Amino acid sequence: MTNKCIFNILLFFSLSGITAFSQIKCSNPVPPVLTFVSILDETGTVELRWTSSPSTDVVAYIIHSWDTINRNPGYYPVDTLWNPELTSYSYRNVKTTIYSVEHVISALRLPDCESPLSNPISTIYCSSEMDSCRNEIRIRWNRYNDYPKPVTAYQILFSKDGGQLNEYYITDPETDNITITDFETDSHYCYRIRALLEPGFFSGSNETCVFTRIRKLPEWINADYATINDDDNIELSFTPDPEAEIITLQIEKKTANTAAYQWLAQLPPSSGAYIYTDNEADINKVNYYRAYINNLCNEPAVYSNTSSNMVLTAETVNNDLLLKWNPYKEWVGTVDRYEVFNLTPLGWALFRSMEPEDTSTVITGNDLVELMKNSTGNEISFYIRAVESDNPYTATAESRSSIISIPVEERITVPTVFTPDNNGLNDYFRPVLSFSPSEYHLLIMDLNRRTLFETRDYEDVWDGTSGGKILPSGVYLWFLKITTPSGKKTSESGTVTIFYQR
Q: What is the pLDDT along the chain (502 residues), one digit of tens a residue?
A: 444 443 343 334 343 443 334 455 789 999 999 999 999 988 889 999 999 999 999 999 999 999 877 666 789 999 999 999 999 999 999 999 999 999 999 999 998 899 999 999 999 999 999 988 788 999 999 999 999 999 999 999 999 999 999 999 999 999 999 999 999 988 999 999 999 998 889 999 999 999 998 777 889 999 999 999 999 999 999 999 988 877 899 999 999 877 899 999 999 998 889 999 999 999 999 999 999 998 877 888 899 999 999 999 998 877 788 999 999 988 999 999 999 999 988 899 999 999 999 999 999 877 877 787 777 667 889 999 999 999 999 888 999 999 999 887 777 889 999 999 888 889 999 998 877 788 999 999 999 999 999 999 988 999 999 998 999 999 999 999 999 877 889 999 999 999 987 6
Q: CA 487 to CA 437: how far, in whole Å? A: 9
Q: Rounded to an integer, what distance in angstroms lies between the CA atom of residue 370 and that of residue 372?
A: 5
Q: Evaluate whether 33-122 and 312-407 have a shared fold.
A: yes
CATH of 126-211, one of 2.60.40.10, 1.10.3430.10, 3.30.710.10, 3.40.50.12660: 2.60.40.10
Fold of 312-407: Immunoglobulin-like (2.60.40)
Handedness of CA 329, 332, 337, 342 (dihedral sign): negative
Under CATH, which number does the domain 33-122 receive?
2.60.40.10
Q: Where are the domains of the chain?
A: 33-122, 126-211, 221-308, 312-407, 412-498
State the Cα–Cα distance between residues 225 and 399, nearest whole angstrom.
Answer: 6
CB-based burial label for 87 (10 Å; 0-12, 13-18, 19+): middle
Residue 46 · residue 96 · CB < 8 Å: yes
H or E segment to which residue 65 belongs = strand 58-67
Q: How many residues does this entry show for the chain?
A: 502
How far apart CA 397 and CA 395 sit, in angstroms, is 6
Backbone CA torsion sign across 177, 180, 185, 191: negative
Question: In terms of CATH architecture, what is 412-498?
Answer: Sandwich (2.60)
From 2.60.40.10, 3.30.390.50, 2.40.50.140, 3.50.50.60, which CATH number describes the 221-308 domain? 2.60.40.10
Alpha carbons within 13 A on the beta-carbon side of 129: 9
Helix (H, G, I), strand (E, B) or coil at 3: helix
The alpha carbon torsion through 465, 470, 473, 477 (nearest 10 deg) reads: -20
Residue 263 three-state SS: strand
Sign of CA dihedral 426, 432, 438, 441: negative
Assess contact for 439 and 482: CB atoms under 8 A.
Answer: yes
Contact predicate 177/140, CB 8 Å: yes
Answer whether 86's CB lies under 8 Å from 61's CB.
Answer: yes
